[in-house]
Amino acid sequence: MKRLMTFALIGPPVGAFALIFIVIPLQAILDDSKIEFGLVQVQTFLALIPLSYVVGIIPAMLAALADGAARNLPIPVRILCVTVAGYLFGFLPLWWPLKGGGKSSEWVFGLVGAVAAATCAWLTTSWQQRAARGTQSSPRQPDKSGRP
Q: What is the pLDDT of residue 30?
A: 82
Within 19-109, residue ranges assigned H as helices are 24-30, 39-69, 75-98
- What are the pLDDT digits (tens) for 91-126? 776 665 555 555 656 778 889 999 999 999 999 999
- What are the pLDDT digits (tens) for 72-96? 999 999 999 999 999 998 877 666 5
Rg over CA atoms, the chain? 20
CB 73 within 8 A of CB 13: no
Q: Find the range with the poorest average confidence among 14-18, 42-46, 76-80, 140-144.
A: 140-144
| pTM to 2 decimal places | 0.80
Residue boundaries of the structural domains of the chain: 2-38+45-128
The residue type found at 21 is: F
Residue 143, pLDDT above cutoff 80 = no
- What are the pLDDT digits (tens) for 26-47? 888 887 888 877 888 899 899 9
In angstroms, the Cα distances linking 57 to 10, 27, 72, 95, 107 are 10, 24, 24, 17, 20
Please, which pLDDT band fits residue 15 given cuts at 50, 70 and 90?
A: very high
